[in-house]
């Protein structure tokens, strides 16, 4: 049986509609108007125990709203969520015992106290047995390099140090399911690596189910086995990461500044393995699959028709992939 079962989940918000200007605000005061906005629209999925799932989408796609419903913070408008046999927003406290959660920049640690005090309070709250607490603390301190941080006040920690402590606090009570909402936002590469490694280690050892939302594809790349992609409140992809990569992966966009163009590059290179997205008199934007071609190949091909002055190469970001997917421009190689 799946550890998380989500069926036809819907969440609509009531948004107050105000007209501009002072008059509009005054009107609203006496005669408020609301319109409904659907944040999550008929979402269904099952997650098995021990899965590492990346839940991705643009800002405002409905990720956080979904996570909030999974954790029981929000009540669904309709549809159902069952987490390890419990309905989270009905049995909130029971459900809280079996889950852990990190929400971006909100901290669950006690801001003015040393980190270790927060850990002790968490131990009391979750009634973690002494032995288990010691074992976890020792292990987490080692992997996340917390030794020197434990006696410091949380407010004096850097963002990366704080997030490492936050992650440790989240896993301290051996939760069965952990929700991580943007856990690596704003962190440097070393800390990101550290946190990713930690998540993988714990997942392997304890079969902890992890649901991760992020804008950093690398998080997904390194941690997740499965991807759920949400856009405008609906799931548009749900499947293995490897398959996702086959479909969208390894795209590179190269922009060239050119002169003395003799022919339309778009027309001339139609038979080739790359795609010209944009073409003007002095510039070219080309997308190609890095598994099949290199930048040198592209340069070879287009230099027949023009003189290259400058170029700029970048990997296609998640935002662009998302946009493309939304526009229905998915190209399956």
Partner 1 sequence: MIRNIRIYFSFLGASLKKMLEYRVDCLVGMVSQIAFQLIELIFIWIIFQNTDNIGGWNFTQLLLLYGVMMLSVAVTDLLFDATYDIGNRFIRKGKFDTILLRPVNPLISVLGESQTSTALGYIILSFILIVFTLMKLNITITLFLIIKILYFGILGGIIIGGFQTIFSISGFWTYKSNEVVWSVFQLHKLAEYPIEIYNKFIRVLITMILPFACVSYFPTLNYLGSSKGKIAYIAPVVAIIVWFIAIKVWNFALNKYRSTGN
User: Rule CB under 8 A: which residues touch partner 1?
Assistant: 39, 60, 64-65, 68, 71-75, 92-94, 96-97, 99, 101, 103, 106-108, 110, 112-113, 117, 121, 124-126, 153
CB of 310 to partner 1, least distance (A): 41
Residue 126 C-beta: closest distance to partner 1, Å: 6
Six token digits for residue 76: 């669904």
Gap between the Cα atoms of 8 and 79, Å rounded: 5
Cβ-based nearer residue to partner 1, 59 or 280? 59
- Residues near 91 by beta carbon (within 8 Å), at least 6 away in sequence: 72
In the complex with partner 1, which residue's Cβ is closer, 117 or 324? 117
Kindly state the smallest distance separating residue 265's Cβ from partner 1, in Å: 43
Q: Which helix (H) or strand (E) holds 11?
A: strand 4-16
CB 107, min distance to partner 1, A:
7
Give whichever of 72 and 183 is closer to partner 1, judged by the CB atom: 72
Parallel, antiparallel, or unpaired: how do β-strands 99-103 and 177-181 relate?
A: parallel
Which of 172, 164, 178, 168 minimizes the C-alpha distance to 207? 178
C-beta neighbour count of 210 within 10 angstroms: 25
Give the nearer residue to partner 1 in terms of CB position, either 50 or 114: 114
Which one, of 5, 53, 39, 27, lies nearest residue 238 by Cα? 53
CB of 186 to partner 1, least distance (A): 17
Minimum distance from residue 171 beta carbon to partner 1 (Å): 14
Q: Which is nearer to partner 1, 113 or 295 (CB)?
A: 113
Q: Beta-carbon neighbour count of residue 318 at 10 Å?
A: 19
Q: Residue 57: which region, alpha, beta or left (left: phi > 0; alpha: psi -120 to 50)?
A: left
User: Strand order in 99-103's β-sheet?
Assistant: 99-103, 177-181, 209-213, 52-56, 226-231, 234-240
Q: Which CB sits closer to partner 1, 100 or 249? A: 100
The secondary structure of 198-223 as a DSSP string is HHHHHHHHH--EEEEE-S-HHHHHHH
CB of 56 to partner 1, least distance (A): 16
Would you say 68 or 226 has its CB closer to partner 1?
A: 68
């Amino acid at each position: 049986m799946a550890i998380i079962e989500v069926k036809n989940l819907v969440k609509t918000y009531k948004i107050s509609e105000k007209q501009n200007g002072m008059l509009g605000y005054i009107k609203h005061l006496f005669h408020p108007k609301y319109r409904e906005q659907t944040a999550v629209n008929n979402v269904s999925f099952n997650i098995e125990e021990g899965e590492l799932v990346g839940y991705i989408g643009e800002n405002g796609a409905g990720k956080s709203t979904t996570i909030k419903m999974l954790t029981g913070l929000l009540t669904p408008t309709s549809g159902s969520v069952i987490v390890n046999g419990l309905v989270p927003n009905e049995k909130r406290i029971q459900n809280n015992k079996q889950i852990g959660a990190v929400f971006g920049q909100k901290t669950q640690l006690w801001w003015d106290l040393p980190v270790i005090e927060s850990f002790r309070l968490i131990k009391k709250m979750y009634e973690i047995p002494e032995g288990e607490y010691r074992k976890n603390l020792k292990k987490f301190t080692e992997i996340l390099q917390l030794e020197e941080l434990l006696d410091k006040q949380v407010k004096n920690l850097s963002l990366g140090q704080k997030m490492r402590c936050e992650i440790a606090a989240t896993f301290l009570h051996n939760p069965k399911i952990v929700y991580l909402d943007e856990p690596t936002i704003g962190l440097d590469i070393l800390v990101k690596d550290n946190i990713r490694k930690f998540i993988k280690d714990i997942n392997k050892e304890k079969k902890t189910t992890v649901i991760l939302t992020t804008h950093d594809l690398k998080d997904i790349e390194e941690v997740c086995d499965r991807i759920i992609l949400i856009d405008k409140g609906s799931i548009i992809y749900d499947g293995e990461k490897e398959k996702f990569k086959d479909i969208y992966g390894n795209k590179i966009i190269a922009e060239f500044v050119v002169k003395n163009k003799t022919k339309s590059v778009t027309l001339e290179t139609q038979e080739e393995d790359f795609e010209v997205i944009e073409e003007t008199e002095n510039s070219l934007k080309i997308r190609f699959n890095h598994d099949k071609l290199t930048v040198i190949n592209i340069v070879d091909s287009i230099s027949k028709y023009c003189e290259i002055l400058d170029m700029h190469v970048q990997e296609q970001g998640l935002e662009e992939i998302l946009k493309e997917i939304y526009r229905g421009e998915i190209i399956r190689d």
